[in-house]
Amino acid sequence: MTPCLLHLILLRSKLRYFVNLVTLAEDALKHLIDQSVRTLNQDQEQDLLLYLYESSQDPEVRPGLFEGDIAMTNEYLNYWRIGLRWDVFPDKLWQNGIVPYVISDLYNPADYVKIYKAITYINNMTCVKFIPWDGKSKDFLLIWPMMNPKGCWSFVGKFGGAQILSLEPPDEKGPNCLENEGRAIHELMHALGIFHEHSRADRDMYIDIHYENIIPGFRSNFNKQSPENATYSYEYGYDSIMHYGNYFFSIDPMKPTLTPKMPGVMIGQRTAMSKTDCLKLNNLYGCLNKPEEAGIYHNICKTWGL
């Protein structure tokens, strides 16, 4: 047994105690989700919902969630529509970039390691630090394989309390959220405050949206933020780990819902942060504000980002 694997096993054993502290009864979890997740519009037909669950849709595409993988209250949704600015809502960022977390003991060892690798990856690429929950901090991230709604999803930014981030483990249909570390990184970045790239106010300069190919009732998932309240310090990222893929919410797996204006570029990768993703996250948490640290994180992003 390698020292690294032994360390992970010991850490998992230690975290089991913390998981037991926050294990929620089935009805308590349901209540939390009912309070936190935006409900479906009544005009969305059941056959479309069944199609989403049973077709080959991406595991980030789930009905009842904003843009497929974002949990959001109605109040929070209204803020997003005008462009959520973190300088106006600093309490929605994790204080000092410290994120206490718990990984559910329901994951098998292989899936646990993938989640842990995603956490370690962000810790190494940025000044943000995910740390095991000490059982005392009021706000912490609870990484849990939710059953309803299933899939890969998260709140955006710090929502407060025991904040769920769902990563659906593999099943007979496929790897779901844990084929590799990429989808876990994507959802962790949501939890840190990063939105989807395609929702940028300036996105029409870079991509075309094919509304005729989007499942009726889900076109709002392709809305963009208000330009009056949105400013962008970095260029649009086709290679962003936060970008939708070509066929998200498509009525037909052969008909794209969005395509890049630039020929030959790929979108929707779920492998690692792009260079710009890395810089954006470091900038959001002030990692680039101190001259002695800015150079370090700039080099990390330029060297190790996609």
Indicate whether 47 and 107 sit together in one domain: no
Are 154 and 71 within 8 A, CB to CB?
A: yes
Indicate whether 127 and 86 sit together in one domain: yes
Query: 65 in a domain, yes or no?
Result: no
Query: 1 in a domain, yes or no?
Result: no
Query: 236 in a domain, yes or no?
Result: yes
Query: 278 in a domain, yes or no?
Result: yes
Number of structural domains the chain divides into: 2
Indicate whether 101 and 224 sit together in one domain: yes
Residue reference for tokens 């939105």: 195
| Mean pLDDT to the nearest integer, 96-102 | 97
Indicate whether 194 and 107 sit together in one domain: yes
Q: Which residues are catalytic?
A: 187
Indicate whether 15 and 157 sit together in one domain: no
Query: 2 in a domain, yes or no?
Result: no
Indicate whether 77 and 32 sit together in one domain: no
What 8-state DSSP symbol labels residue 37?
S
Residue 134 has pLDDT above 90, yes or no: yes
Q: What is the CATH number of the domain that holds 74?
A: 3.40.390.10
pLDDT band at 23 (very low <50, low <70, confident <90, very high): very low
Indicate whether 50 and 155 sit together in one domain: no
Any binding-site annotation on 190? yes
Which residues are 46's β-sheet partners? none
Q: Where are the beta strands (DSSP E) in 73-152?
A: 98-103, 129-132, 140-144
Task: Supply the pLDDT for residue 76.
Answer: 54
Indicate whether 90 and 36 sit together in one domain: no
| Mean pLDDT to the nearest integer, 212-235 | 83
Query: 283 in a domain, yes or no?
Result: yes
Tell me the whole-structure pTM to 2 decimals: 0.79
User: Helix, strand or coil for residue 16?
Assistant: helix
Which residues are 215's β-sheet partners? none
Any binding-site annotation on 31? no
Angstrom distances, CA of residue 299 to CA of 101, 239, 288, 296:
27, 18, 11, 5
Question: φ, ψ for residue 59 (rounded to 5)?
Answer: -65, -10
Domain span at residue 27 reads: 8-56
Work out the burial of residue 239: count CB atoms within 10 Å of its CB; fewer than 13 is exposed, 13-18 middle, 19 or more buried: buried
Any binding-site annotation on 7? no
pLDDT band at 111 (very low <50, low <70, confident <90, very high): very high
pLDDT, one tens digit per residue, over 185-219 is 999 999 999 989 999 999 999 999 999 999 887 88
